Structure 1
Amino acid sequence: MSPYIAEFIGTAVLVLLGNGAVANVLLARTKGKGADLIVIVWGWAMAVFIAVYMTASFSGAHLNPVVTIALALAGKFAWSKVGGYIAAQMLGGMFGAFIVWLAYRQHFSNTEDADLKLACFCTAPAIRSVPHNVLTEMICTFVLILGVLYLASPQVGLGSLDALPVGLLVLGIGISLGGPTGYAMSPARDLAPRLMHALLPIPGKRDSDWRYSWIPVAGPLAGGAMAALFYAHVH
């Protein structure tokens, strides 16, 4: 399998299972309606585990533009492949969000709260404050990328045996640091599904909160770059 196809498939599965967990908890008349945050956090952790395990041997299982850029900054990945990987990840994130909408289409129609519909695609802060929201995303992503860099092979990225540690890493971040912003940590997990929210014919939807949309991109990119530089300095 081409590594670019693997990145597309892996990111699609990641977003499908992760945002699928969100939809199951938040949307009206689902079997999971009313569950708490821990279900969503576990859903994302399992999504990461499954997606990484599926694709690690083909592409290194980056599944996140920030991971790809950080690995390149750390000298673990060729810059010539960065653009293709990011394009595959963003398209995969959009496709995964589209499948979530297909699976929960009736429940989107039965849900009145437009904010809950948006939350099934992308993150939003619990308390809006640009500096604090950016800082939180930087911290979350710094922890993620530092963990990934120590797990990654020198050649490409993660091996299949590292799928479980990465899933547990995401679980820990979600439980400990997910409260302020929802720990996006990836444009492919936030911006790509946000684009699908804007494009899809969802009844009663609100705007896609574009004023906030840059934060889950800039914060993770800054946090990832800092982690890569820190790793290069101390490793």
Structure 2
Amino acid sequence: MIVYLYEFIGTALLILIGNGVVANLVLKGTKGPDTGWTGISLAWGIAVFIGVYVSADVSHAHINPAVTLALAVAGKFSWQLVPGYMLAQILGAMMGNFMVWLSYKKHYDATEDQGAILATFCTAPAIRSPFWNFVTEAIGTFVLVFGVFFIAGGTFGDEPISLGSLDALPVALLVMGIGFGLGGPTGYAINPARDFGPRLLHAILPLKGKGSSDWGYAWIPIVAPLCGAVVAALTYLAIAV
């Protein structure tokens, strides 16, 4: 279905720009090593804007399994479409990071720091503490999804809440705010597809000296955002009038 294609495209653009700036920052020999956390937060906001703007009118621009799940829990999205959306988002995230790899191929070859290489694919905690890492990711995703409900707002009969093109900017600003305010402890995945798809790609690609894909941590940026999203949906249902 065309909606799945647009979820794929929107998510691919999200990861291409978002993880592209990380690659520009941490890989050896690029022209952007001074980008810093400010650059990362700004770029991820811009990446969300692009992904939402491109896919909004067709697939309603979820580009995040946590958003898809929350809308289904709130009764704003068909459960029948959930598996297809989530698969499209994961595959789109993989494609986006594949294009990052193609763009920075020579820099990947020159980089010996395994942690830096992994950072261009997926998240990792600044201080590894599973419980608190889980809490951070759940809170960040709660803020994202709760904000999305009010930004996109309203009901449209049996149709899902739409992140139309006019909603792209405030959602982008919301993600920027999460990055600046809550991103430090875990790198703010707040999107299971954003972390799982690229992490899987990292495991598959023939990266020189890439090291571990850190699957021991991988469950946190998958499960915690989904939990935070469900709590956000239930909270919205409890207080919305």
* TM-score, structure 2 as length reference: 0.96
Match of 1:151 in 2: 151
Percent sequence identity is 57
What does 1:60-139 align with in structure 2 at a 5 Å threshold?
A: 60-139=60-139
- For structure 1, which segment, 146-155 or 133-142, has the greater mean C-alpha deviation from structure 2 after superposition? 146-155
What one-letter code is carried by the residue in structure 2 that aligns with 1:72?
A
Q: Which whole-Å CA distance do the structure 2 matches of 1:128 and 1:91 have between them?
A: 28
Matched, 1:185 2:193: no
Q: Which whole-Å CA distance do the structure 2 matches of 1:159 and 1:96 have between them?
A: 22
Residues 24-51 of structure 1: CA distance to partner in whole angstroms, max 9, x if unpaired?
1111111101321110111100000011
Q: Which whole-Å CA distance do the structure 2 matches of 1:64 and 1:36 have between them?
A: 25
Q: Which whole-Å CA distance do the structure 2 matches of 1:200 and 1:137 have between them?
A: 27
Q: Which whole-Å CA distance do the structure 1 matches of 2:129 and 2:67 have between them?
A: 26
* 1:204 corresponds to which of 172, 196, 209: 209
Matched, 1:53 2:58: no
Structure 1 residue 152: Cα displacement: 2.3
Match of 1:5 in 2: 5
Structure 1 residue 188: Cα displacement: 1.1
Structure 1 residue 112: Cα displacement: 1.3
Aligned residue pair count: 235
* Contact kept? 1:26, 1:34, Cα under 8 Å: no
- Alignment gaps of 5+ in structure 2: none
Residues 175-232 of structure 1: CA distance to partner in whole angstroms, max 9, x if unpaired?
0000000000111100100000000011011110000000001110110000000001
Matched, 1:227 2:236: no
Q: Which whole-Å CA distance do the structure 1 matches of 2:173 and 2:145 have between them?
A: 13
Structure 1 residue 80: Cα displacement: 1.1
Structure 1 residue 4: Cα displacement: 0.6
After superposing on structure 2, the runs of 4+ consecutive aligned residues of structure 1 that deviate more than 4 Å are none
